[in-house]
Amino acid sequence: KAGGAYLPLDPAYPADRLQYMLSHSRAPVLLTQAALVERLPEHQAEVFRLDADWTRLAAYPETNSARDVLPQHLAYVIYTSGSTGRPKGVMVTQQGVLNLVHGLRVYFNDPAVLNVGLITSISFDISVNQIFPSLIFGRTLHIIPDAVKFNSRALLRYLHEQQIQLLDAVPSYMQAVLNEVAPEQPPNVLRYLLIGGEKIERRLLQAVFRQLGHAVEIVNIYGLTEISDINILGSIRVQDIDLPITVGRPLQNNRIYILNPFDQLQPVGIAGEICIAGESVSRGYLFRPDLAAERFVPCPFEDGQIMVRTGDLGRWRADGTVEILGRIDHQVKLRGYRIELDEISARLRQHPAVHDAVTVIQPGADGTSQLVAYVVENLDWRTQNLGVASDGSKSPGGHPVLGSADLRQHVGAQLPEFMVPSAIVVLDALPLLPNGKLDRKALPAPSTPGSAETRYVAPRTETERRLAAIWADVLKIERIGVEDSFFDLGGHSLLAMQLLVRIQEDLKAELSLRTIFEQPAIAALAPLIDQARAATSSNPSVPLARVSREAYRARRSSVLKDEAGNTR
């Protein structure tokens, strides 16, 4: 109604990233909550606190504004990872959102779908798939709490109690959920499970049908923020489990072109770059026409139309579906987030102890993908800091060492948690091919979890012992020392979120995900947990009275009537 575009800001992001997004976007208004105002970085936007400033809103006229919203106007801007070291804002139009909404309406023409579950943050574009179709077509959108979505048993119980028929998640998340499911799980009511953002492994399909039943329909989705998220989708039913895994067919009003390096169409079965044109194409990158020119190019098959180079490698199959084969560059998708590996490497190179760095994605010990960074020391720093690690600790033998915890904290202060490497390997030099390019195959695997060279220090307090037991269960490692780093032992952001849930359940303490990244050892984490528990016990929460649905309906009805009894 206001005619503006929204820019989602995740309060869990580092202050540096939030500040850049606010200043670069030039957003004139910031909608937030009173509790978050102090955590926001310096900015120029006018602040409106949704839970405290309604008297200001009441001063505005109740009539609709006279703004005309056209299809080409912006609906939202979402910042994605950028290879230059700074994120770039994708400008998605009203037309793109509506094409997505109506495309999903046609695909899921099922009146039985009344309740939709939202797992992801609104700063992640996959949320658009749930928010707008639910609001426009009269479904109920359930925003699943963090304490539920990172607890497998609680999640399945929630889906059953709230009768959730449609859920959207990334493969690694669902695999973690189904790995932890207890045999006494409640009956499944889920009808559609949308999966996208990462490659689907066959073992996930098997786990879904085994744990959730054969009636569930898995929908494999493919898309980019630059093309209003979902662009290709296709169903996988239990009878399809042994067939090749494809992402299906294009969404309505979108065209898929699979091209060779000379922008010529590839025949069926031959790999090429996936390019997309149509109603869903966005307007490029906010205030960065130079970057947009690299990916938003004239379509050689449609006069006056723009197509987007996705950077993904794929091919047509004989049945008209598209199969994804990989990337043609160094961009990856991890837990549904699109990540420019060069952005992480650029941040690492900014550390004074680092001369060079490269980041890759590798399978972890638990089978899920993880980010691994390889760094080369800055020789000048080594000379100036002889005998001191980059985190300030003394190194054995007087030789300077790069501290992985310090480097991880350095990256985490500027990038979201999902972009912080799970492992950092120090090399004397990066391996190169004869042509001078990086030899990625020669990069050594990070240390096996549990084989870190940190000396073993046994838990000393009750909190440390209980915390070590939780770590051992989450990481599947028997012996945990209080000075071991969670990430050096094989932890990553998804496991860190499971760890937070276990800490809340078993130790009755609430911590942020960023705390795990900043204090990844039990010795540092235990005192914070003791402080959190002490604060909770000194300020007990007041239990909320349960309000019946009938009382809520009556209250809602009264709100919608004016003093004369007329319905508004």
**Any idea where the domains of the chain sit in the sequence?**
1-69, 93-327, 340-442, 462-532
- List of residues 6+ apart from 201 with CB closer than 8 A: 171, 175
Percent of the residues in the chain that have a pLDDT greater than 70, as a whole number: 86
Name the pairing type of β-strands 166-169 and 140-143. unpaired
Tokens of 206: 């098997």
User: CB neighbours of 138 closer than 8 A, spacing ≥ 6?
Assistant: none
Region of 529 on the Ramachandran plot (φ > 0 left; ψ -120 to 50 alpha; else beta): alpha
Q: How does DSSP assign 381-404, residue by residue?
A: HHHHTTTB-TTSPBPGGG-----H
pLDDT digits (tens, 9 = 90+) for 445-467: 886 554 444 567 888 899 999 99
Q: Which CATH architecture has domain 340-442?
A: 2-Layer Sandwich (3.30)
Give the pLDDT confidence score for residue 349 in this predicted structure. 86
pLDDT single digits (tens) 379-395: 776 666 655 554 554 44
Q: Give the C-alpha separation, 172 to 494, whole Å.
A: 8
CATH (one of 3.40.50.12780, 3.40.640.10, 2.60.120.10, 3.30.1490.190) for 93-327 = 3.40.50.12780
Taking CB atoms within 8 Å and a gap of at least 24, the contacts of 450-457 are 450/477, 450/479, 450/489, 450/490, 452/484, 452/485, 452/488, 452/489, 454/481, 454/483, 454/484, 454/485, 454/488, 455/481, 455/483, 456/481, 456/484, 457/481, 457/482, 457/483, 457/523
- Is the per-residue pLDDT at 548 higher than 60? no
Mean pLDDT of all residues in the chain? 84
Q: What tokens appear for 70 in the block? A: 């056209």
- Whose tokens are 């169409």? That residue is 265
Predicted structure pTM score = 0.73
The answer to whether 121 touches 150, Cβ cutoff 8 Å, is: no
Supply φ then ψ for residue 549, to 5 degrees.
-60, -35
Rounded Cα distance between 328 and 493, Å, is: 26
User: Strand, coil or helix: what is 370?
Assistant: strand
How many other C-beta atoms are found inside a 10 Å radius of the C-beta of residue 454? 12
B/e letters for 276-307, b = 16+ CB within 10 Å, e = fewer, are bbbbbbbbbbbebeebbeebbeebeeeeeebb
Which residues, 6 or more positions from 544, have their beta carbon under 8 angstroms from its beta carbon? none
The pLDDT > 90 percentage for the chain reads 42
**Average pLDDT rounded to a whole number, residues 34-60:** 89
Q: How far is CA 167 from the centre of its chain?
A: 16
Q: Is 370 exposed, middle or buried (0-12, 13-18, 19+ CB in 10 A)?
A: buried
Average pLDDT over residues 398-413: 72
Number of H helices, E strands in the chain: 18, 21
Q: Looking at 87-101, 104-118, 290-304, 482-496, which range is the least confident one?
A: 482-496
Predicted confidence at residue 534, as pLDDT, reads 83
According to CATH, the topology of domain 462-532 is 1.10.1200
Mean pLDDT of 432-444: 77
Containing H/E element for 117? strand 115-118
Consecutive H or E run containing 516: helix 513-518
